[in-house]
């Protein structure tokens, strides 16, 4: 008899299997992928006592995604508040919860944030492709069917372990979702000097607005037009969070499903923590780019991991 699981009764617009990402394959032109808000993703797994990199479900916008339990199970939800309900009753994010056979878990529209992470005991069960279970739609890799596609109605979600005693997320460590605005730390790159002085002043002293042209590949920021002496460069490798400035002068922050190389000049790269924050910003959110040093970025990254490693 096959393992009981969750049946997808209604598929939302974008619910993807994600883990920490696909590394060591960039030379093949294969992107990183992985959870866009890696902080909320890790907290979801932490709540169930899973290895932090265990595959989970990344749910974007909610959009009516509805899952029905075939048996009793304890799950965890972290990140955005997507107006989740359990049999019609509100379900708060950043906590574990139990479902009984026949109960329905549904997601509606964002109240705060954009992406929620649903974790399963031992991790969501999906085939491993090039060292990861993460979906990348453009490259047709990962996911339940190994083709990178979002969940579809009728599919079943199963998990790799058994339910463990759940944990409670400390109140002071609850992931904060951007609302009216936020600051995004950025490490400046070698091409920053090619931008005009006025452009640099505007880049770091005026607010930017998250555009509705945003996905897992990149997020466009709208605001003052940036310009400089470089109109294009020889294509080079692109790190997570790279802030490219194309000819129209409007920055694009390259995210988890970015291309592996690019030829536009860059201001630098957002820190990993800033990338997680930006991944939760709804269109229209105001953000400020704030330069930090490499050592400051590394220290912030270590502080975040200390919450999980010290447990």
Closest C-alpha among 229, 232, 237, 156 to residue 197: 229
Residue 61 near residue 82, CB atoms below 8 Å: yes
Residue 3, pLDDT score: 79
Q: What pTM, to 2 d.p., does this model score? A: 0.95
Where does a domain end: 116, 142, 173? 173
Asked if 150 and 223 sit in the same domain, the reply is: no
pLDDT tens profile 205-222:
999 999 999 999 999 999
Which structure tokens are listed for 204? 């770091």
Average pLDDT over residues 33-38: 97
With bands split at pLDDT 50, 70 and 90, how would you rate the model's confidence at 172? confident
Could you list the residue range(s) of the whole structural domain that residue 16 is in? 6-173
Residues 103 and 196 in one domain: no
| Whole-number pLDDT of residue 175 | 83
Q: Is the confidence at residue 2, as pLDDT, over 90?
A: no
Q: Is residue 40 part of a domain?
A: yes
81/150 same-domain check: yes
Looking at the structure, do residues 131 and 254 belong to the same domain, yes or no? no
* Chosen domain end from 155, 173, 191: 173
49 and 142 share a domain?
Answer: yes
Label residue 266 by pLDDT band (50, 70, 90). very high
pLDDT for 291 equals: 98
Strands (E) in 82-146, as ranges, are 85-86, 89-90, 95-99, 104-106, 112-119
Residues 141 and 12 in one domain: yes
As for how many domains the chain has, the answer is: 2
Three-class SS of 174-191: CCCCCCCEEEEEEEECCC
- At 289, which CATH number? 2.40.100.10
Q: What is the pLDDT of residue 66?
A: 97
DSSP 225-262: PP-BS-S----EE--TTEEE--TTS--EEE-TT--SEE
Average pLDDT over residues 96-109: 95
Residues 12, 126 within the same domain: yes
Mean pLDDT of 11-38: 94
Residues 156 and 217 in one domain: no
Claim to verify: residue 300 and residue 194 sit in the same structural domain: yes
**For the segment 43-101, what is each residue's pLDDT rounded down to a tens digit?**
999 999 999 999 999 999 998 999 999 999 999 999 999 999 999 999 989 999 999 99
Q: What is the pLDDT of residues 218-249, one digit of tens each?
A: 999 999 999 988 877 888 899 999 999 999 99
> Does residue 1 sit within a domain?
no
**Whether the predicted pLDDT of 150 surpasses 50:** yes
Instruction: Note whether 92 and 215 are same-domain residues.
Output: no
Listed residues 127, 148, 173: the one ending a domain? 173
Query: Do 278 and 204 share a domain, yes or no?
Result: yes
Does position 1 have pLDDT exceeding 60, yes or no? Answer: no
């Amino acid at each position: 008899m096959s393992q009981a699981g969750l049946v997808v009764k209604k598929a939302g617009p974008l619910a993807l299997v994600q883990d920490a990402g696909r590394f060591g394959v960039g030379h093949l032109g294969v992107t990183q992928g992985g959870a866009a808000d890696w902080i909320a993703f890790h907290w979801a797994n932490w709540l169930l006592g899973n290895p932090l990199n265990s595959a989970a479900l990344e749910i974007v916008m909610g959009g009516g995604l509805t899952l029905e339990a075939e048996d009793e199970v304890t799950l965890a939800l972290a990140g955005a508040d997507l107006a989740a309900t359990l049999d019609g009753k509100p379900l708060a994010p950043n906590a574990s919860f139990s479902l009984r056979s026949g109960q329905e878990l549904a997601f509606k529209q964002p109240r705060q944030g954009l992406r929620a992470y649903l974790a399963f005991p031992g991790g969501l069960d999906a085939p491993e492709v090039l060292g990861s279970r993460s979906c990348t739609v453009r490259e047709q890799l990962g996911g339940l069917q190994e083709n990178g596609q979002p969940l579809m109605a009728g599919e079943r979600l199963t998990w790799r372990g058994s339910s463990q005693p759940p944990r409670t997320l400390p109140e002071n460590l609850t992931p904060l979702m951007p609302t009216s605005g936020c600051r995004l730390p950025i490490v400046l790159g070698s091409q920053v000097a090619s931008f005009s002085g006025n452009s640099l002043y505007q880049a770091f002293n005026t607010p930017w607005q998250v555009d509705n042209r945003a996905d897992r590949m990149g997020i466009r920021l709208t605001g003052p037009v940036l310009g400089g002496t470089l109109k294009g460069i020889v294509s080079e490798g692109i790190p997570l969070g790279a802030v490219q400035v194309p000819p129209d002068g409007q920055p694009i922050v390259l995210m988890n499903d970015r291309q592996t190389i690019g030829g536009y000049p860059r201001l630098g790269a957002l820190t990993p923590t800033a990338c997680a924050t930006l991944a939760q910003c709804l269109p229209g959110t105001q953000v400020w780019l704030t330069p930090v040093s490499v050592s400051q970025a590394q220290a912030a990254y270590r502080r975040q991991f200390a919450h999980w490693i010290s447990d």
